Chains A and B, each alone.
Chain A
Amino acid sequence: MFTGNHGFLADRYVNIGQKKRTREEVIALLKQRLAPLKHTSDGSGEWKRGEAE
């Protein structure tokens, strides 16, 4: 992943019954799940989906 070659893992992604995804959609999914979660100010101490700080 450090090399930015997300396609390497996308080629090894196994669909176990999820909705059908193209290689590009798998790469987008992986990038989405690699992004940092942004801290919220709601006092919950939880992190939410967001941009890198």
Chain B
Amino acid sequence: MTKPITLLQAVNLAMHRAMQENKDVVILGEDIAINGGVFRATENLLESFGPVRVIDTPLAESLIAGMSIGMATQGLRPVAEFQFMGFIYPAFDHIINHASRMRHRTRSRLQCPLVFRAPFGGGIQAPEHHSESTEALFAHIPGLRVVIPSSPKAAYGLLLAAIDSNDPVIFLEPKRIYRSIKEKVDDDGKRWQLDQARKVKDGKDITLISWGAMLHETLEAAQQLEKYNVSCDVIDLLSISPIDMIPILTSVKKTGQCAIIHEAVKTCGVGAELIARIQENAFEYLKKPIARITSPDTIVPYAANEQIFFPNAAVILQNILKHFNIG
């Protein structure tokens, strides 16, 4: 009988599995080998696969990205960890100018099968620069896949698929739920589809769309909405680029009401993109403007005050009640 495991353990399990299956998979990053990663996502990989495949790099993020690209062009499948999303920005030059374009600009002579993992988002009282959700920056770049798991099962299935993929994948791990949610995960090597959203709750009145850690706050709000006789479809996006619009449009055409919930700040967030696409494709079905429930357009407060910044189930509920004139 498999024991329930955390999202973090599922990430670790997927990497063990991928390395066992394929010798081309190598893991690199800062403090990922002997230390097992600052969150322990890479724990025991060094012991199982040795220092040539599990590589502690010098402390340089541009190096991690740039060398991963070089490795990928020669047939390796690097899975690189960026210790926190807040420190991935030195690697942008490589992500945007090279990883996303290598296949395209060589007309598939070379490809870039790499995964860049990074814990993101707030809620763990971490220091400055450790709590942002800037996933939309990556979703704006053609040629990248941007994947965000919301549960241990999703993390396992999606990370294996990301490592298999011959496209560069940004794999963002919501660290707030790294250890707070447990699920039974069969280590059966089963891959999830990389660009398929999933419906996690069925309803008829409002479509709620979210991803990552906010999915759980959204589900809790949806639960509370039942008391008001409001039932919600809840969609877990899983991939913010590309976006799987099919279940979203199906749901919105049914409910005619939609709210998007994300932890990232409001302006130019993925929510804006979703709203644009929904109105392009289902405008005539909408009974009300689409609601956006997000963090405000300001800097994430330091740990002492961060809890007032992020949406939570109560905030989501209040916003939905007000926006849709419920109760």
Partners in one complex: no
Taking beta carbons and an 8 Å cutoff, which residues of B are in contact with A? none
